[in-house]
Amino acid sequence: MRIVDAKVIVTCPDRNFVTLRLTTDDGLTGVGDATLNGRELAVASYLEDHLCQLLIGRDASRIEDTWQYLYKGAYWRRGPVTMTAIAAVDTALWDIKGKAAGMPVYQLLGGRSRDAVTVYGHAGSATVSDVLEEVAGLLGRGYRAVRVQVGVPGLEKIYGVGRGGFYEPATAGARPDEESWSTAKYLNFVPELFAAVRDGFGYDVHLLHDVHHRLTPIEAARLGKALEPYGLFWLEDPISEELQEGFRLIRRHTTTPIAVGEVYNSIWDCRQLITEQLIDYIRMDVVHGGGITHLRRVFDLAALYHVRTGSHGATDLSPVCLAAGLHVDVAVPNFGIQEYMPHTDATNAVFPHSYRFEDGLMYPSEEPGLGVDIDEEAAAEYPYRQAYLPVNRLEDGSMHDW
C-alpha cells in the first residue's frame, strides 16, 4: 500500500481551510486537516514544497514511522507550522488505515470507552440579558454544557462575543482587526455574569469560561477564587501559555478547574503542566497537536496525572479535524468534554461527513476510516481569501495578548 498522490487543497467556504488528501496505489484515499488560522498558506507551502514529495512511494500503513520520519527528519522540531503539517499527514494515514481495515478509526484506537461524546456549546453576546437568552436556546437544543462569554461595559470589541449566531474571530482583509482590553473592567464584571447565569438556570448545567490568555497569574488566581461559588466546569487559558510554572501560582489560590492547551503543539509544551498537576483539562486537538498518533500520546500522559481531555473545536478546525477528534474522544479513558462550534452550511457542503450531533452529544462516524471527505469540485468554488485573527491593545495603546 504505497502513497501515489499527495494533494493540498486550499478552500474558503466562509473561512479558509487547508486539507491534505493522500491516495494509495490500491485506490484508497485519506484526508487530514492542515488549517492554521491566519497563517494557512505557510502550512500549505510546508506540505507542498517540502513534505508531499517525501510521501510519494512510502508505505501508507507505517503511520508511526512516517510520524517519526517527518518529526525527527525535519531537525527543526515542533512549532505550529511543522506540527500542523505532520498532523495532516498522520490524520490522512489513519483514515487510510481505517478504510483498509474496514473499520471506523475509533476501533483501531481500542474501541469505544463511551457511547457518545459530551460537547459544550457557546453563548457569547454583548449584554448579560442576551447571553441568558442564548443559554436558554442552547439548553433547548439539548446541550448540557455551555461556554459563556460577555461584552464588558466600556470595552468595544471583546473575545468570544459573536456578531450573531456563527462565531468566527478571523476577519477577511489585508490587516488584523484591533480590539481593546482592560483587565480591571473585565475582572470587576465577569462574576456578575456567572451570578446571573446560575440565578437563571441553576447548577445542573456545566458552565465554562475562556479568558483567552489575558491575565497575569495573580489576576487569574483572583478570578478563579471569585468564580468558585458558581462551580465552573473549567476556566480556560487564564494566562499566556508559554510559562508553564506560572500556573503554580494560580493553583495555590483556587479550586476552580483549569483548562489549557489549544495553542500547544507537542507533548513537550504541556509536560510540566500535566506532571505537576497544574491543570485539570488538556485542550490539545488533532490538527495542532501532531495528529491522532501524537495526541493519543499526550492524552495517555495526562491520564496518569488525573488530567482529562477537553479538545479545542472552534470553527477554524475543519470537519476533518472534528471527525478525527471524535474518534479519539470516544476511545480514550480520560475523556472530559469536547468543544463544538457548528460549521456553516457552505463548510459542511465542502466536507461531507457522517458524524452527528444529537441532544448535546456527538457521535463519530461508523464508516470505515474517519467518515469525512473533501468535495474537490465544491472546494474549488471558494478560493482562498486572506484573513487574520485580531490583535489586542490595552487602553493606552500597548500590545496585549489576544
What cell numbers appear for 278 in the block? 497544574
**DSSP, residue by residue, 266-302:** SHHHHHHHHHTT--SEE---TTTTTHHHHHHHHHHHH
Q: Would you say 381 and 328 are in contact if contact means Cβ atoms under 8 Å apart? A: no
- Binding to ligand EZ4 by CB under 6 A, coded x per residue (else -) over 92-131, reads ----------------------------------------
Cα angle, residue 186 at apex, residues 220 and 265 outer, rounded to 5°: 50
Coarse DSSP helix, strand, coil percentages of the chain, rounded to the nearest 5 percent:
40, 20, 40
Q: Is 212 a known active-site residue?
A: yes
Task: Check residue 373 for interaction with ligand EZ4 (CB under 6 A).
Answer: no
243, with CB counted inside 10 A (0-12, 13-18, 19+), is exposed
The binder of ligand EZ4 chosen from 121, 124, 151, 169 (CB under 6 A): 169
Residue 310 found at the interface with ligand EZ4 (CB under 6 A): no
Q: CA 313, CA 318: separation in Å to the nearest integer? A: 9
Q: For Co ion, which stretch binds (CB under 5 A), given 61-69, 153-161, 254-262, 342-350?
A: 254-262
CB of 159 to Co ion, least distance (A): 8
- Per CB under 6 A, the segment of 130-138, 175-183, 250-258, 312-320 that binds ligand EZ4 is 312-320
Residue whose CB is less far from Co ion, 288 or 353: 288
Instruction: Select the residue interacting with ligand EZ4 from 4, 314, 378, 391 (CB under 6 A).
Output: 314
State yes or no: residue 241 binds ligand EZ4 (CB under 6 A). Answer: no
262 binds ligand EZ4 (CB under 6 A): yes
Residue 37 binding: pick among Co ion, ligand EZ4, none (C-beta 5-8 Å cut-off by kind): ligand EZ4
**Contacts with ligand EZ4: how many residues (CB under 6 A)?**
10
- Is the C-alpha dihedral spanning 101, 102, 108, 110 positive or negative? negative
The residue annotated as part of the active site, out of 122, 209, 212, 288, is: 212
The answer to whether 69 is a known catalytic residue is: no
Q: Are strands 258-260 and 29-33 parallel, antiparallel or unpaired?
A: unpaired
Q: How far is Cα 362 from Cα 371, in angstroms, rounded to an integer?
A: 14
DSSP letter for 342, please: P
Sort 45 into a burial class: Cβ within 10 Å, 0-12 / 13-18 / 19+.
middle
Q: Which does 125 bind (CB under 5 to 8 A by kind): ligand EZ4, Co ion, none?
A: none
Residue among 234 and 299 whose Cβ is closer to ligand EZ4:
234
Calculate ∠ Cα 121-127-128, nearest 5°: 70
- Pick the stretch among 15-23, 265-273, 310-318, 347-355 that binds ligand EZ4 (CB under 6 A): 310-318
Of these partners, Co ion, ligand EZ4, none, which one is at the site of residue 316 (CB under 5 to 8 Å by kind)?
ligand EZ4
The answer for residues whose C-beta is within 8 angstroms of residue 206's C-beta and 6 or more apart is 120, 144, 145, 146, 233, 337
Catalytic residue among 159, 230, 340, 382: 159
The answer to whether 210 contacts Co ion (rule: CB under 5 A) is yes
Q: Is 162 exposed, middle or buried (0-12, 13-18, 19+ CB in 10 A)?
A: middle
339 binds Co ion (CB under 5 A): no
Closest to 330 (Cα-Cα) out of 304, 307, 364: 364
Q: Is 378 in the site for ligand EZ4 (CB under 6 A)?
A: no
Q: Is 316 one of the binding residues for ligand EZ4 (CB under 6 A)?
A: yes
Q: Which residue type does 150 have?
A: V
Q: How far is the CB of 1 from ligand EZ4 (least distance, A)?
A: 34
Residues within window 31-50 making contact with ligand EZ4, judged by CB under 6 A: 37
**Looking at beta carbons only, is 339 or 367 nearer to Co ion?**
339
Shortest distance, CB of residue 223 to Co ion, whole angstroms?
15
Interacting stretch for Co ion, rule CB under 5 A, among 27-35, 117-125, 206-214, 356-364?
A: 206-214
No. of H helices and E strands in the chain?
Answer: 14, 18
Binding residues for ligand EZ4 (CB under 6 A)? 37, 169, 210, 212, 262, 312, 314, 316, 339, 389
Would you name the residues annotated as active-site residues?
159, 212
